[in-house]
Amino acid sequence: MPTKTKPLIVVKSGPRNARTDPESGLRFYMWRGEEYPSVTSIRNLAGMPHNLAQWRTTQVIEKAINEFPAFTRQINDGTDAKAIATWLRAGANKKRDEAADLGIRVHDAASKNIAIDTADADVAPFLVQYRRWMAHTGIEVLLAERQVWNESIGYAGTFDLIGRFKRTGKVVMIDLKTGSGTYPEHALQLEAYANGEFIGEDDVVDQAATSLLESVELRAVLHLRKDGWTMKFIPASDRTWIAFRGLLVFAQWQFANPVLDGLIDRTIESPRAP
């Protein structure tokens, strides 16, 4: 039986013993001298989902159209092409970054148990729904924002919550989302977190927390919206676990082979013209 742990409110903070590459945004965790890619970075290492790539392209197009005067002024003023490209590229990530910032502030407000009437205006509605979710489900949050590791497979990550339903005693791994929607990769993330081998930080395994991880029976995405919340349960799936491991292998292969040269055994070229 897992060790009884004092319930926690969700805590959102930057992960310890991890580094984020400033150019790519990819995150790697360090454990006993070895680096492991984060669960979320593995998806990015393997390539962007087609729908997301299409969405980002649309954001760039909309920026060029909606800010057409500024766009044409830069061209007419002889602004460097690379600078214009950087300006356009910013449009691809603007909404995503704004959503990520909101999510961080919602997590932070929940962790500090901030009063609704003192929370930022855009955060307050999500905070209301978070507390309504807790009251409605009777969830007991046991662990929040902890690092999970799988040395055998080769990845690490920071999950949002592990909770226990007071009525049934079942333990659930929860991924908290505040964006506009939920997506298939969230199932991959949950499966990866639930299949971690242990929980620990600073090269020290937390045995009590690992016991709770081993007791996880359910997986769920908690989607907070301004006007409500939805808790979507995702069954444990061998196919999803296989898909994540395959994604990791492909990501590692692609990261190790950014160009074809390293994979070439021999080359035959056409004879040079006389």
Q: How many other CB atoms sit within 10 Å of the CB of residue 256?
A: 9
Whether the Cβ atoms of residue 185 and residue 43 lie closer than 8 Å to each other: yes
**Series of mean pLDDT values for 10-residue runs along the chain (274 residues):** 39 61 77 92 73 75 85 86 82 69 82 86 94 95 92 94 95 92 91 97 95 97 96 96 93 85 92 83
- The pLDDT score that the predictor gives to residue 13 is 37
* CATH at 168: 3.40.1350.10
50 in a structural domain: no
Residue 60 included in any domain:
no
Residue 193 lies in a domain: yes
Say how many domains are in the chain: 1
Residue 30 within a domain:
yes
**Residue 77 located in a structural domain:** no
Q: Is residue 57 part of a domain?
A: no
pTM for the model stands at 0.78
* Within-domain flag for 246: yes
- Residue 91 structure tokens: 């449009």
Rounded to an integer, what distance in angstroms lies between the CA atom of residue 182 and that of residue 224?
Answer: 10
Identify the pLDDT of residue 92: 67
Q: Does residue 194 sit within a domain?
A: yes
Alpha-carbon distance 129 to 78, whole Å?
A: 50
Question: Which range of residues forms the domain containing residue 172?
Answer: 18-45+119-255
CA–CA distance, 217 with 172 (Å, rounded to integer): 6
